[in-house]
Structure 1
Amino acid sequence: MKLLIVEDEVRLRDRIAEGIAWEQYGIELIGAVSNGEEALQLVDRIGTDIVLTDIRMPIMNGLELARRLKEQHPATKIIVLTGHDEFDYARESIEHGVSKYVLKPASNESVLEAILAAAELRKRELVEKHNHTLLQERWQTHLPRLKEAFYRNWILGRYSSWELEKKSEELMLELPEQLYIPVLLDMDPLQDEDTRYLRSDRSLLLFSLNTIAKERLEGTSSLVFQDDNGMTIVLFNGSLEEDHMAFYQRVNHMVTDVIAMMKDCLKITASAGIGPIVTAKEQVPDAYVKSKQALQTRLIYGHNIAITFREAPKPMNQWNSLAEMEKQLETFFELGDEAQAKQVAWHMIQSVFSSESILEVREFLIHISGMLSRFIHARQWVLTEVTGEDYTYFESLKQLRTREQIQEWVLRTIGRICQFVNESRKSSTKQSILDIVKFIDTHLQEDISLYKISEMLYMNASYLSRLFKEEMKMSFTDYLLERRMERAKALLVQGLKVYEAAEQVGFNYVNYFSKAFQKYWGVKPGELNK
């Protein structure tokens, strides 16, 4: 919960701000300002949950602040500090959204009690806001987009079998065993003599094709959506009892109809690649790849045509599966997960050697060395520094003469890359903490807070707090107090007066400094320079 204090009386404002250990109660003090205008600017900039405000203040008083907050930030809880002579006046503030008022002279205990009560109320409101009914409404609103994203990821082969089952259940989608035919529709290249459209209009034309396909195929057993590049994918489905040839003819007729309608409406042509029939949902991605291959043959057969995929006899190879494993490998590199990265690489090596083709093994070596080099150079690292003595194999892959040599070289290099990733991440974190420590040491006389520092570093305050504690083995607050107490002790030993030392370490009130100093060192500050 975020708290903002608004009070023009300096002594009272600082007593409340500095005299209560807000962090112990889960309260983040974002600021203590002297008038409503400053407060409103701060709330507009970073937001807050609770505002504790006086009524009578210069520039903008507390009631005007409450009114503005009710209009602009209605969820904010407002607590008013008021004297006995303002009591009736304060009661009128309820219409401006004030939830509680505390009578002056207010003790820290009464202020804390009011703040904690407001925080609890705010928490309950947040819970209610995200209740089951609201989540269901949001779910229904986003469901069409979620379904389309699911269909896209499914047909593009981005799900494993278990992910496909899990995500279809989450979206309450049935994917039964039935006949499937994927079709890919794309605009044909614009002719040079057609001056109605520019090349930059391609996205608009693809959207038009998708719209026509949805309209023309409405009510049929099909799903229509766009791929990552805007091309239209249509997944037709039919009963397992339907004759395969009849199913093909039906699909071909509907696709041809969409292409014809596109030409009639926009006077430009489109083509389609029709994939093979499959009967299992796990086979759909492979059938979709074949629909893409069919579409590519329009270079031979011409435009404004629906082309059915025909299997060409060719030897099987491992490159499709290797491409998927390569994606996984780069993901684990990014995470610095050495164990998982090595496991994927091991499977890649086993897959290549299972072909028993020396040519495919050599091609794999060229491919994997390029991939590893690319990953290293993309991070502006030097290949020789990362790979060490194994750099010689990048210069001459022919030196790797056995399966064992290849496997050990790949795994060693992967281990070094993951080590560099993790060290780089740690170095970045350590530098951020060193910057914070340096800032504290040079600004002890100022009002330092973790929130201010997090803004300077463009980092989340909670995340920064956790990093600081992990690196320094103590909280930010404890470290700041330690540095202030050590600096204060040194200044007092040098002969500075107590109030001078207090000012130089960021304490506005000598009494509060004296109590903090005695609690920390066990002696009063005045006893050090006697």
Structure 2
Amino acid sequence: MKLLIVEDEVRLRDRIAEGIAWEEHGIELIGAVGTGEEALRLVEKIGADIVLTDIQMPVMSGLELARLLQQHHRHIKMIMLTGHDEFDYARESIEYGVSKYVLKPASNDRILESVLDAASKRRLELEEKHQYDLLKERWRTHLPRLHESFYRNWLTGNYASWELDKRGEEVHLKLPDQLYIPVILDIDPLNEDDTRFLPSDRSLLLFSLNGVAKERLAETSAFIVQETDGTTIVLFMGVLDENRMDFYQRVNHAVTDVLTMTKDSLKITASAGIGPIVDAKELLPDAYLKAKMALQTRIVYGHNIAITFHENPSAANKWTSLGDMEKQLETSFELGDEQQAKEVAGQLIRSAFSTGSVPEVREFLIHISGMLSRFIHARQWLLTEVTGDDYTYFESLNQLLTREQIQEWMIRVIGRICLFVNESRKNSTKQSVTDILKLIDTRLHEDISLYRISEILYMNSSYLSRLFKEEMGMSFTDYVLERRMERAKALLVQGAKVYEAAEQVGFRHVNYFSKAFHKYWGMKPGDLNK
């Protein structure tokens, strides 16, 4: 405990400072000064726990000193030395944090007793503050879990509408009126022939999906919590005056990004159920249930998809038919068949506009843009690179105002996708043939065959044979013979023996090699050594 003595009477000040063995009682005397101004400077420089001061001093009284210290150092215990005639005056000092007053003349024992009593109180305060800080830190550490518990209970309808704000305040959450969209993310069922994961790995995969969502949505106004069954709940929030279609489009884009990243990073697919937009806190549990219902319909729509809740069955049936056409469109993309893809796109647009409902057309746009984005991202292509100037419409679909604009946009994007597919196939073909040529050159000394090459490259031998002939203009067998004969001729010219040349180009029998060489070059191999 740090003690500061403030007394203008020199003899009394020295007696208190030097006549008491402060250190033996755990008290550190940081100074003994004669004025309030000196005391303030010393407290600011060193700090103090206890100040023992005379109440009557020139320039600045002990009471004024107490008042000033109370403003910035409320923890300091003030002890006043006062005369009998100043007793009533001293009582007023209580409002300035003075905890004790000692009547003059006071013995050293009386002063020591007062200081030790103040020190005891200060130690108790420090201990209580330490305990409070510990509790506060524990509260801060557990607050994220408390938030998760609150959101989980809110979404699942465990809170009555009247207690929502109260429960939120208990965990330091404010619930302003705003727009909400609940989304549920879940990994898709694994194929039975997928041996990478065991059923027991599901919880780990769900945890990883939750991590992907938190990473991709870190800059988004959303709260993410894992449900008790392991699925991830994302509660998107928007301001009340935000355009609802813009808000919904933003959510759909963010969810699609999470699904794409899940497939890229975890090598599994996930799907999402997107609930309706609500603008009242008490409506959120119902919207959450609808998000769950939307997710359940992936059994109809398939996997790796963000599914919007639809209120009426007819709309759901319509989306089912759209899903069939989308599969046809993806097949056309895989084949690089631009004409067929454009025909399917026309069917999709006619179906989307069949009801004349603007909201359904907008949902179709959001849905189809997500499908096109997933197809592009699945091939490790950049959306901006593939779509070019049309990328701006992916960012703001509201720019597409007419049926003609929508159709022209889709046709352009489809054409670009098919172009990239075909270019990629050409590059892949060239690379495959290059790999074959390298293998042939490095294995001429072996009994090399088309079947063996196809095994090494994990390719179908019939497809490899057709591919090779299309690119090279000759059969695989003819090319291998040509390379062997050229290599053999070069070896013989360099002075190799006939049997050595035969071995190095894959012929086990010299006689067979000589006949093949003579047939190809019109001379015997031995003639080159003469």
Same fold (TM over 0.5): no
Which TM bucket (shorter chain)? 0.3 to 0.5
Q: TM-score, normalised by structure 1?
A: 0.39
TM-score normalised over the length of structure 2: 0.39
**Highest Rg: 1 or 2?**
2
